[in-house]
Amino acid sequence: MTLTTDDPIEILKRKAVIFILGVMIVGGIIASFLHSLEAKTHPISLIIPPVTVVICLGTLIYLLKHPQKIYLAIKIILGWSSFIVVFPEYFFVIEAFLNPDKLLIDSLPPISSGIFLLTTSMIVFLRPKRLLGLIILLWVVIASPIVIYLIFHFQELKTPRGIDLIVTLVPAMGINIFLVTFYARLQDAFNQICMERFHFKEVSEKDALTGSFNRGAGEKILQNLIDQREQSIGIILCDIDRFKQVNDNYGHLIGDRVLQTIARCCQAHLRKQDILIRWGGEEFVIVVTGDSQQELENLAERLRFIVAEQQIPEVGRVTASFGVAILKPHENLIQLFARADRALYQAKDWGRNQVVLA
């Protein structure tokens, strides 16, 4: 088992989503209050702000109860944000087309800030491979009706508001798409670096022969668990009996195969939260958290039986001895291992292929 902690990027995204939801809730409440004071308010302005409050508040409560549902919350935010930008725009464009007395430049609410916030949120939350296509789709969906309308209503296009809309929707959005393309490539490069770093970290922490944690990584994991002391911590020392004879009689390649087989066999019968460490040579350590002394002893006995029953080509059966110890209050890592090590040597002295509890 690796010690599981939340990905820092996921934590940051969660905080950002909670902040955005909070801002949208406050903004919806303020907008609802201000629209209620107006003598004549369009129905859209009366409906969208309070609905935004309800949706965002519900999403916020759900996310706080289920933090792992971060991407569902992101989909809701982006989906609703897209709707409150696109729906009013299409409504007022269609209204202006159908009613010559209505001027789009007068009735259309400000959309520049909405587009900017929506595209920024998409850059922050979406994966690069999906981002570019969605940004282009959003651009087409938002820009098309307004640009078409203004082309057919040149008098409105010549006004300051008309020029502002064209500049926002054509060159400014074009620059935005270029920046998104650059960001997507930058993010791909960053992800590649992260993957390489993860690979190097994996290599530095794992034993090349058996695939279990190496001693350096194991000591850090154990020390971290001991520092936290959130639950019981137990260790099982496992030492393959007469392993030197295996190397002497069959060679080191066969000895390596024995180590691989024992490690694979033990790992297959451990839980996800249990940690297998190659401590050195033919010695392994299993770190177990949350179990009682009896449960730890039972696990060691099961592993002893499984190892002894394992048939290894060219060698046959091998056995292993086990020393078991549970961390005592105020005990440190060295003291814990000293007790487990004494129990292991006692198992050896008593004839090997045994489990001894410290």
Integer-rounded Cα radius of gyration of the chain: 32
* 40 token code pair: 């004549």
- At 286, give phi and psi (nearest 5°): -110, 125
Residue 108 and residue 92 in contact, taking contact as beta carbons nearer than 8 Å: yes
Just list the catalytic residues: 282
Taken in order 326, 330, 331, 333, the sign of the CA dihedral is: positive
| d(C-alpha 340, C-alpha 357), whole Å | 8
Integer angstrom CA distances of residue 336 from 286, 333, 357: 13, 5, 12
| d(C-alpha 84, C-alpha 102), whole Å | 21
* 72 token code pair: 């569902």
- At 356, give phi and psi (nearest 5°): -125, 130
Exposure string (b/e) for 37-46, b if CB count within 10 Å is 16 or more? Answer: eeeeebeebe
